[in-house]
Amino acid sequence: DAKTTQPTSMDCAEGRAANLPCNHSTISGNEYVYWYRQIHSQGPQYIIHGLKNNETNEMASLIITEDRKSSTLILPHATLRDTAVYYCIVRVGGSQGNLIFGKGTKLSVKP
Amino acid sequence: DAGITQSPRHKVTETGTPVTLRCHQTENHRYMYWYRQDPGHGLRLIHYSYGVKDTDKGEVSDGYSVSRSKTEDFLLTLESATSSQTSVYFCAISESSGLPGLALHFGNGTRLTVT
């Protein structure tokens, strides 16, 4: 699996957009980008995934650069409940799903 | 939340004793996983199962065994617990659709302390 690089921590003001970057410069053509988050003392939660095109769901938007070497997860209106560790994972789609989680980005949403 | 129940939620045990953690799902998903989470290491895969009686090792399988006799239950056993196995253990499930949106759904974890 391609390696990902994320900042260790980020802050965001409540109500503003949170933009979380991820670098995956060694991504291969059949690898998808997945985002999960983990709120303190809970299990990780799936957010979104994408291959080439930008994706949006009820939780977030995923912007993938044209060369696919980096992506950004956008939480459009961050709330205090979005404070969590966010994991960017690159994995071949359709595989057995044993995703490998790195250390992620600790997002702190402040009032 | 996906129908995943981990038991117990908390356990304290002594070094050298056997411990079994249980993961129960009501989603009828084919794949089940056990992860451990430790400060500075993130989530690491211990073992996973791709069907009844079908299991395989993950990244950190030494000292652990698993069993899956029914679709809904996946057991993780520490045959002889050691202090290095103090951790938070998460169970996860996923469908075997073969499609890229193969999201993992996690339980709320078991906090195990080995003294």
Q: What is the per-residue pLDDT across B18-50, written as a single tens digit (0 to 9) for each?
A: 999 999 999 999 889 999 999 877 788 899 998
Mean pLDDT of B84-103: 80
Burial bucket for residue A61 (CB in 10 Å: 0-12, 13-18, 19+) = middle
Closest CA to B52 of B33, B31, B35, B34: B31
pLDDT given at position B42: 78
Three-state DSSP at B7 gives: strand
B99 part of contact set with chain A, CB < 8 Å: yes
Report how far residue A56's alpha carbon sits from residue A13's, in angstroms, rounded to the nearest whole number. Answer: 22
Q: What backbone torsions phi and psi does residue A46 show, to the nearest 5 degrees?
A: -65, 140
**How would residue B100 be classed by pLDDT, with cut points 50, 70 and 90?**
low
Q: What is chain A's Cα-based Rg?
A: 13
pLDDT given at position B26: 96
On chain A, the residues whose CB falls within 8 A of the CB of B42 are 87, 101-104
B104 part of contact set with chain A, CB < 8 Å: yes
**How would residue A98 be classed by pLDDT, with cut points 50, 70 and 90?**
low
On chain B, the residues whose CB falls within 8 A of the CB of A103 are 40, 42
pLDDT tens track for A30-80? 888 999 999 988 999 999 999 998 999 999 999 999 999 999 999 999 999
Shortest Cα–Cα distance, B98 to chain A (Å): 4
pLDDT given at position A66: 95
B2 part of contact set with chain A, CB < 8 Å: no
B50 part of contact set with chain A, CB < 8 Å: yes
Q: Is the pLDDT of residue A93 over 70?
A: no
